[in-house]
A and B are shown apart, each in its own frame.
Chain A
């Protein structure tokens, strides 16, 4: 159960777009569309922002979008805002019927 690989940090200026990658394998990200993304502010519980690769739950800003190509999923945040500063995690269902999280990415505004 190796963690999915994410960049440790990504930064951008207000209004810009950034993309966070989530690299897995043919046993998880590559075989299922069961990839979801979570936003976590310091001291708070994580919040679901994307499910099934590219779907947004009700109430989540359309500035968040997801995609997948092969064994790598991606989260794009467009029109970066101060409130987007947080940690972001991907997760995927696996062929072993387990779940695995990404290593996490800290998003900071320049």
Chain B
């Protein structure tokens, strides 16, 4: 079945780095845009970034621009989020999400991986 599984979350100190991975299955990754969306504890959803089919187009939320890098490896059916200069306010559940451009909606979500930034 169509599935997204995130990994790589954990506890990191302020200023540190972390790389999230997302394994896609049940569909052809190269047929879809992909995105990362996060949710801080007890807070709402925040769109973080998205990447086009082959990675030619990439966009970031202002809150992470210059610190986060999204990438993909279609041959490995994988999506990544490299996070640098992490701050306490980056603490959140990070969801890997499929972005269907035909519906312009986030139609498939992973279960999320928890990132905690704390000293």
Kindly report which residue of chain B lies nearest to residue A37, judged by CB atoms: B105
Counting CB contacts under 8 A, is A17 at the interface?
A: no
A91 to B47, CA, bound (A): 9
A93 to B104, CA, bound (A): 8
Complex partner residue of A57 from B61, B107, B110, CB under 8 angstroms: B107
B104 with A46: CB separation less than 8 A: no
Counting CB contacts under 8 A, is A110 at the interface?
A: no
Given contacts A1-B62, A45-B112, contact A51 B103 (CB under 8 A): yes
* Interface range, A side: 20 to 34
Which residues of B from 97 to 112 have beta carbons under 8 Å from A?
103-107, 109-112
Counting CB contacts under 8 A, is A72 at the interface?
A: no
Counting CB contacts under 8 A, is B50 at the interface?
A: yes
Chain A neighbourhood of B37, CB < 8 A: 101
A101 with B45: CB separation less than 8 A: yes
Main secondary structure of the interface of B (DSSP, over half): strand
Counting CB contacts under 8 A, is B41 at the interface?
A: no
A102 with B44: CB separation less than 8 A: yes
B45 with A98: CB separation less than 8 A: no
Chain A neighbourhood of B106, CB < 8 A: 36, 38, 46, 48, 91
A100 to B112, CA, bound (A): 19
A89 with B109: CB separation less than 8 A: no
B47 with A45: CB separation less than 8 A: no
A57 to B109, CA, bound (A): 14
Complex partner residue of A100 from B47, B105, B109, CB under 8 angstroms: B47
Binding site for B on A (CB under 8 A): 1, 3, 32, 34, 36, 38, 40, 45-48, 51-52, 55, 57, 87, 89, 91, 93, 97-104
Chain A to chain B contacts (Cβ below 8 Å), 18 pairs:
A1-B63, A34-B104, A36-B103, A36-B105, A36-B106, A45-B111, A46-B45, A46-B95, A46-B106, A48-B107, A52-B104, A57-B103, A87-B44, A91-B45, A97-B59, A101-B47, A104-B44, A104-B45
Binding site for A on B (CB under 8 A): 35, 37, 44-47, 50, 59, 61-63, 95, 103-107, 109-112
Closest 6 CB pairs of A and B: A51-B105, A36-B105, A104-B44, A34-B104, A45-B109, A51-B103
